[in-house]
């Protein structure tokens, strides 16, 4: 394929995130020009099912006029104002109230930020600030999980448990620890049941807390379903056992619902799906369908009250972002939540999601499929070439990349996380579109299988 003028200008002038700069210079970018429902179109007019909803984020599809109108109305009345030093604006107040009403557990306050990374970074700072306010200056260590993903700022990349986010950056920082990844299919021992595996995961967490000293651990950060680590669904009884350990040692729970929130797992929040009772919830992506950059932190009273207590002598909270709670972003967030509710998109994620899971499960017997996993409208297909050994081609990610490329040729954009293909389509997807998507996946697997044989 020849590289267009836009493509070569991109190579010349633009540095990309999550891109190998060397291969980018030779292969060039896929230039996306417009969106329409669950589809996007490239500069040559080729249409793709966006099976990742962009970056796990566009709940209402790529052409929702109501979000455009909401942004325009806000632009015309108050295009910008901030929330520093006792100022506020209607759009932020309204959306904060909406989020508190929507939360699956009693929450006290909302703090607005602009990205998932900023939100997690802010939670880390607020936890440290809270410990200082409480006169517990040693209670500052944070535990996350191997393969967890929480962002890329210095602090949130440290929480992230993927080597690729640490390599070359001298991370993680001190105070951040990682416990085991609850991927039963890959990490479970011979003869170990899913429940026994969950017991072992909770024991690993407890052992780490005891080793470090319970009085030094402030919080545990986790995605209810791990996204960027490869769509890893928690094993049965995992969350109840983990929460029992956290309660025993007075460790706060931060649920990173950046991917899972706003219907993805078939409930409004995955904390409902898995009966999680977080002290802090981190929300972004589908909060605004990513039409505007926006994230929100929900804090319960256990988290917030010490910060607002008369005994806190730290004074003004020295933290906040110019664009945090930007009026246009929160107005779009509000309208996006209205649409999710009015169109029953959470219900659609449950029903059409069950169809997606069932269709993908039908691929389990394919010679290249190791594990099919997922819940609601999020799924992972882990590819292998040797089913018994659970291994793929010698070079990790090579098989995933090959199938992903084939899918792109067939008009489906997905993402291969190593050798796992991730699926996270817009919540507006219907059963027929799911069928088209899974048919293309089948075709891509067959074609790859053929080319491996020859």
Assigned token pair, 197: 């595996």
Q: Between residues 103 and 399, which has the closer beta carbon with respect to ligand PLP?
A: 103
Cβ nearer to ligand PLP, comparing 255 with 369? 255
How much helix, strand and coil, in percent to the nearest 5, is found in the chain? 45, 15, 40
Q: β-strand 378-383 against 412-413: which pairing, if any? A: unpaired
Shortest Å distance, C-beta 283 to ligand PLP: 10
Q: Please give the size of the binding site for ligand PLP, defined by CB under 6 A.
A: 15
Interface with ligand PLP includes 352 (CB under 6 A)? no
Q: Which is nearer to ligand PLP, 258 or 381 (CB)?
A: 258
Position 259 contacts ligand PLP (CB under 6 A): yes
Site string for ligand PLP, 205-224 (x = CB under 6 A): ------------------x-
How far, in Å, CA of 403 to CA of 401, rounded?
6
Number of Cβ within a 10 Å radius of residue 193: 13
Q: Return the number of the residue (206 or 291) whose C-beta is nearest ligand PLP.
A: 291
Q: Which is nearer to ligand PLP, 40 or 228 (CB)?
A: 228
Applying CB under 6 A, does 115 fall inside the site for ligand PLP? Answer: yes
Tokens of 163: 């080597």
Q: Does 276 bind ligand PLP (CB under 6 A)?
A: no
Strands of 208-366, DSSP E: 217-222, 252-256, 280-283, 295-299
Which of residues 74, 113, 117, 416 is near ligand PLP by CB under 6 A? 117
Interface mask (CB under 6 A) for ligand PLP, residues 360-399, using x and -? ----------------------------------------
From residue 124 to residue 163, the character string flagging contacts with ligand PLP as x (rule: CB under 6 A) and all else as - is: -------------------------xxx------------
d(CA 331, CA 94): 9
For the bound state, the minimum distance from the C-beta of residue 227 to ligand PLP, rounded and expressed in Å, comes to 5
Shortest distance, CB of residue 259 to ligand PLP, whole angstroms? 5
In the window 332-351, what residues touch ligand PLP (CB under 6 A)? none
Task: Name the closest residue to ligand PLP (Cβ).
Answer: 116
Work out the widest C-alpha separation in the chain, in whole angstroms.
73
Q: How far is the CB of 143 from ligand PLP (least distance, A)?
A: 16
CB of 42 to ligand PLP, least distance (A): 23
Q: Please identify, using beta-carbon distances, which residue of 288 and 300 lies nearer to ligand PLP.
A: 288
The answer to whether residues 245 and 180 touch, using CB atoms and an 8 Å cutoff, is no
Residues between 9 and 48 that touch ligand PLP (CB under 6 A)? none
Q: How many CA atoms lie within 13 A of 183 on its CB side?
A: 21
CB 329 within 8 A of CB 294: yes
Phi (first) and psi of residue 112, to 5 degrees: -95, 140
Out of 172, 224, 227, 263, the residue judged to bind ligand PLP by CB under 6 A: 227
Residues whose CB falls within 8 Å of the CB of residue 232, separated by 6 or more in sequence, listed in order: 147, 181, 182, 183, 225, 226, 373, 380
Minimum CB separation of residue 163 from ligand PLP in Å reads 17
Closest distance of CB 258 from ligand PLP, Å: 4
- To the nearest whole angstrom, how small is the minimum distance from the Cβ of residue 375 to ligand PLP? 15
Q: Dihedrals φ, ψ of 55, to 5°?
A: -120, 65
Is 283 in a helix, a strand, or coil?
Answer: strand
Q: Please list, in sequence order, all residues whose beta carbon lies within 8 angstroms of the beta carbon of residue 154, skipping any fewer than 6 positions away.
A: 121, 169, 171, 173
16 exposure class (CB count in 10 Å sphere: 0-12, 13-18, 19+): exposed
CA–CA gap between residue 158 and residue 175 (Å, rounded): 9
Least distance to ligand PLP, CB of residue 145, Å: 11
Nearer to ligand PLP, 284 or 448 (CB): 284
Closest approach, Cβ 116 to ligand PLP, in A, equals 2
CA dihedral in degrees (76, 78, 80, 81; nearest 10)? Answer: 180
Residue with smaller CB distance to ligand PLP, 141 or 150: 150
Complete DSSP assignment for 153-195 = SHHHHHH---GGGTTTTT-PPTTEEEE----HHHHPPTT--HH
Instruction: Please give the Cα distance from 161 to 165 (Å, whole number).
Output: 8
CB 392 to ligand PLP: min, Å: 23
> In the complex with ligand PLP, which residue's Cβ is closer, 149 or 274?
149
Residue from the set 284, 286, 289, 348 that interacts with ligand PLP by CB under 6 A: 284
- The residue ranges that bind ligand PLP (CB under 6 A) are 55, 115-117, 120, 149-151, 223, 227-228, 256, 258-259, 284
């Amino acid at each position: 394929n020849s590289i267009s003028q836009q493509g070569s200008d991109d190579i010349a002038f633009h540095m990309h995130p999550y891109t190998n700069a060397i291969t980018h210079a030779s292969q060039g970018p896929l230039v996306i020009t417009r969106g329409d429902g669950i589809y996007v179109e490239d500069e040559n007019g080729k249409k793709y099912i966006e099976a990742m909803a962009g970056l796990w984020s566009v709940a209402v599809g790529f052409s929702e006029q109501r979000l455009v109108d909401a942004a325009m109305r806000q632009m015309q009345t108050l295009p910008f104002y901030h929330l520093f030093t006792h100022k506020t604006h209607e759009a932020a107040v309204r959306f904060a109230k909406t989020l508190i009403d929507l939360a699956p557990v009693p929450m006290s306050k909302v703090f607005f930020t602009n990205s998932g990374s900023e939100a997690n970074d802010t939670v880390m700072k607020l936890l440290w600030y809270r410990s200082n306010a409480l006169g517990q200056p040693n209670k500052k260590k944070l535990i996350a999980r191997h393969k967890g993903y929480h962002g890329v700022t210095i602090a949130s990349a440290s929480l992230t448990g993927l080597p690729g986010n640490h390599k070359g950056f001298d991370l993680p920082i001190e105070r951040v620890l990682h416990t085991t990844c609850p991927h039963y299919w890959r990490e479970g021992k011979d003869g170990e049941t899913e429940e026994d595996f969950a017991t072992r995961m909770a024991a690993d967490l407890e052992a780490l807390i005891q080793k470090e000293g319970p009085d030094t651990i402030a919080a545990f950060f986790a995605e209810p379903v791990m996204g960027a680590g490869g769509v890893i669904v928690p094993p049965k009884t995992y969350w109840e056992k983990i929460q029992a350990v956290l309660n025993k040692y007075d460790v706060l729970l931060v649920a990173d619902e950046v991917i899972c929130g706003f219907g993805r797992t078939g409930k409004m929040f995955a904390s409902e799906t898995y009966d999680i009772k977080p002290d802090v919830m981190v929300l972004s992506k589908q909060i605004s369908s990513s039409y505007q950059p926006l994230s929100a932190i929900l804090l319960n009273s256990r988290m917030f009250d010490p910060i607002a207590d008369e005994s806190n002598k730290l004074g003004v909270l020295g933290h906040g972002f110019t664009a945090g709670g930007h009026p246009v972003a929160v107005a779009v967030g509000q309208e996006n939540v209205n649409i999710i509710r009015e169109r029953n998109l959470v219900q659609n994620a449950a029903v059409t999601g069950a169809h997606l899971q069932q269709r993908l499960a039908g691929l389990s017997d394919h010679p290249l499929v190791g594990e099919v996993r997922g819940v609601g409208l999020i799924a992972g297909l882990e590819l292998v070439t040797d089913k018994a050994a659970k291994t793929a081609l010698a070079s990790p990610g090579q098989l995933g990349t090959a199938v992903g490329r084939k899918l792109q040729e067939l008009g489906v954009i997905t993402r291969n996380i190593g050798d796992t293909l991730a699926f996270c389509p817009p919540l507006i997807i219907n059963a027929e579109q799911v069928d088209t998507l899974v048919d293309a996946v089948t075709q891509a697997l067959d074609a790859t299988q053929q080319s491996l044989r020859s």
